[in-house]
Amino acid sequence: MESRPASDLDLTDRQARILRAVVEHYVRHAVPVSSETLVREHGFGVSSATVRNELAELESRGYICQPHTSAGRIPSDAGYRYFVERLMAERHLSRAERHTIRHQFHQVALVREEWLQLAAATLSRGVQAAAIVTAPHSSQSRLKHVETVQMQDRLGLVIVVLLDGTVKQQLVALPDGVTQARLSAATARLNPVLAGRTREEVEARLASLAEPPAGPDEAFIAAQVVSIVKEIDSRAANVYHAGLVELLDQPEFARSDRARAIVELLERPQALRELLNPLETGAFATPVKVGTVHVVIGRENRWEWMRECTLVVANYGTAGEAVGFVGVLGPSRFPYAVAVPAVRFVADLMTEVLHHDWGAASGARLTEEVGRD
């Protein structure tokens, strides 16, 4: 996070109201704000000369600046930061809007791609910016359930369900003489042993699974599970986005070089992961908690070309198990009062859906996916 100016003391009530008016007017209209505009539209009960003096004080303390000598003022990164932390009145979704979104999420909760795309589309429409959502992912996946199906004499299907809702199927060559009855019996004995364990924990049990009271069938299935989960753990989380058109409509991205940089960012999953890396690695100044909204403004961004952008982002899921990220990206002239509560609401809703719907319905989804194959 960018530190506040050295002269940062609490603003007077009038200075705070003027700074709020400058931020809100500039966010709405994208043009510098003059003292005459502030007096005409906000009053403040003082003369234009007094407002000009207060603007000069706010400028000297680094909260606003003049893009041109004869222009009005615009907020600086520090001004936006002060607004977000001390002056902003969040504008929450209405009860009807929250109900509609919640209903949509629960309708698609069992289809991961639809669920994640819906989150991105919902945020993009609500904030009129680009939305970014990553799939829930853990570097240490934990097992929920395993199933095995004999497809042909020597060909079987191993289905692994993780606690984060991931379902992975893999065809395997079966040992000689293995039947569906033996596979089902071995799987039934294994599930209570494997439930909640990581790949490393399963590997540690492999030797004991090959000996009585277990046996070679259990050891074979557990070895396949280790291989499948290892592949899942090595993958980077999928990234979904929406709202590129809305973002490029903003005047800040009228220049072709800025527009190109944004397009390349949104179309390259690895770049999006790098954008979220400070949140993933705990590089923020304050501890990261699930559902906590972080606002990264202007020069607080790690890349030079993003020094006029804002990222509002939160994570969802369960810390230590499976966590994903959801956020919106736009110019520093951002509707913070709308974006912050919207990101928080969607992150909380995604945590709710992940916990309740995926957990309760994993058995139904498993049967459905096996049937399709």
Closest CA to 313 of 334, 291, 331, 337: 291
Same domain, 275 and 129: yes
Same domain, 25 and 99: no
Same domain, 244 and 355: yes
370 within domain boundaries:
no
Q: What pLDDT does residue 278 have?
A: 60
1 within domain boundaries:
no
36 within domain boundaries:
yes
pTM: 0.71
DSSP SS3 for 261: helix
DSSP string spanning 90-158?
--PPPHHHHHHHHHHHHHSTT-HHHHHHHHHHHHHHHHTSEEEEE--B-SS-BEEEEEEEE-SSSEEEE
Band of the pLDDT at 288, cuts 50, 70, 90? very low
Same domain, 118 and 156: no
* Dist CA 357 CA 104 (whole Å): 13
CATH of the domain at 337: 3.30.450.40
Same domain, 210 and 329: no
Same domain, 297 and 318: yes
Same domain, 128 and 263: yes
Same domain, 171 and 60: no
The residue range of the domain holding 315 is: 95-137+237-362
Same domain, 127 and 257: yes
Same domain, 334 and 199: no
Q: Where among 218, 235, 252 does a domain terminate?
A: 235
* Dist CA 166 CA 221 (whole Å): 18
Helical ranges in the chain per DSSP H: 13-29, 35-42, 48-60, 77-82, 95-107, 112-127, 180-194, 199-209, 216-234, 244-248, 256-267, 269-281, 336-353, 359-372
- % residues pLDDT > 90 (the chain): 36
Q: What pLDDT does residue 274 have?
A: 76
Band of the pLDDT at 363, cuts 50, 70, 90? very low
